[in-house]
């Protein structure tokens, strides 16, 4: 028996990295179906080797998960690297805030990255400051010009990081910068399953160095919030949470209530209007879901 981490799952096959550089193509035993437990990318596993030369095996055990995400479907994530572009495509901040709320619910720390600073440095700097004000670590860089990337590897070291964001923002370029062998690894797996190398279609984990993994995920253009009570949404905005208990009314949802500390901070510029307006939209969405669900 060996231990390893699932780096990719396609059509019932799971590709398990043994921590030393070898990848095994495995099937999951029927016991997982009986337990209604589906293996996820990022799962730590115990597997038996069926053919060492061909790298074939069976997963016999999934070790306890620290956490798991539905979208992207991953397990044992230490942090999220959320990538948007300063321009081309223009950043959809409602989508970004949805993702941040999702990570807050799962208690997974986020690092926000704005790529393509070379296309619009002014807008990139504005976005950087907007999210730093909200309480998030934010980074501005240009992969095309290899600017602002010097501290990124240290940020990832010793962690399993999920890299996510819309299509076209440079996730694949960043992956190739951080791990030039990624194309080669993708190609070797694709050769086994008879598929070519294209834009990322599946969640895939890459081994960067000891105890350091980076999850590449398909781009997304929409994201549905977890099914939480609308009244709890405010707890997943860090800048609101700092003001909790300072409103006139207990349980203030920072909408139409008078003497609201969040709206006061909004008027003083301590809370960003774009974030606040997205909060109201998401609140109404959750409220409607509760009403008609």
Q: Which residue has the tokens 């179906």?
A: 33
- Which range of 15-29, 149-163, 256-270 scores highest in mean pLDDT? It is 256-270
* 212 contacts 157 by C-beta, under 8 angstroms: yes
Enter the tokens of residue 243: 């003001």
The reported pLDDT for the residue numbered 224 is: 81
Confidence category of residue 292, pLDDT binned at 50, 70, 90 = low
Is the bond leading into 89 cis (omega within 30 degrees of zero)? yes
CA atoms within 13 A of residue 181's CA, in its CB half-sphere? 10
> Residues 126-145: pLDDT tens digits?
999 999 999 999 999 999 99
- Compute the distance between CA of residue 17 and CA of residue 174 in angstroms, rounded to an integer: 22
The reported pLDDT for the residue numbered 220 is: 66
The reported pLDDT for the residue numbered 269 is: 95
Mean pLDDT score of the chain, rounded to an integer?
88
The reported pLDDT for the residue numbered 193 is: 44
User: pTM, whole model, 2 decimals?
Assistant: 0.83
> Residues 150-184: pLDDT tens digits?
888 899 999 999 888 888 999 888 988 888 866 64
Of the candidates 110, 156, 113, the one whose C-alpha atom is nearest the C-alpha of residue 135 is: 110
The reported pLDDT for the residue numbered 180 is: 82
Looking at residue 210, the DSSP 8-state letter turns out to be: T
Of the candidates 196, 165, 170, 164, the one whose C-alpha atom is nearest the C-alpha of residue 183 is: 196
- Write the CA distances from 288 to 16, 23, 95, 283, integer angstroms: 42, 46, 18, 9
Tell me which of 263 and 151 has the higher pLDDT.
263
């Amino acid at each position: 028996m060996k231990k390893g981490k699932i780096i990719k799952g396609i059509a019932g096959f799971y590709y398990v990295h043994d921590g030393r550089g070898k990848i095994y193509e495995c099937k999951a035993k029927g016991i997982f179906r009986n337990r209604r437990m589906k293996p996820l990318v990022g799962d730590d596993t115990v597997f038996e080797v069926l053919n060492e030369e061909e790298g074939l095996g069976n997963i016999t055990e999934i070790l306890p998960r620290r956490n798991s995400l539905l979208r992207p479907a991953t397990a044992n994530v230490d942090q999220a690297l959320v990538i948007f572009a300063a321009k081309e495509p223009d950043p959809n901040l409602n989508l970004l805030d949805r993702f941040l709320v999702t990570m807050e619910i799962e208690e997974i720390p986020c690092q926000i990255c704005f790529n393509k600073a070379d296309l619009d440095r002014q807008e990139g700097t504005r976005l950087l400051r907007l999210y730093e004000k909200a309480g998030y670590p934010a980074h501005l860089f240009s992969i095309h010009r290899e600017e602002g990337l010097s501290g990124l590897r240290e940020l990832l070291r010793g962690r399993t990081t999920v890299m996510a964001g819309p299509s076209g923002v440079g996730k694949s370029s960043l992956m190739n910068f951080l791990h030039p062998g990624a194309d080669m690894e993708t190609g070797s797996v694709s050769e086994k399953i008879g598929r070519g190398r294209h834009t990322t279609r599946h969640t895939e984990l890459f081994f960067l160095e000891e105890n350091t993994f980076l999850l590449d995920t398909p781009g997304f253009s929409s994201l549905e919030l977890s099914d939480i009570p609308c009244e709890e949404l405010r707890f997943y905005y860090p800048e609101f949470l700092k003001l909790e208990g300072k409103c006139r009314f207990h349980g203030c949802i920072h909408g139409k209530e008078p003497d609201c500390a969040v709206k006061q901070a909004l008027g003083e510029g301590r809370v960003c209007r774009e974030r606040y307006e997205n909060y109201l939209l998401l609140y109404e969405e959750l409220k409607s879901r509760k009403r008609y669900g």
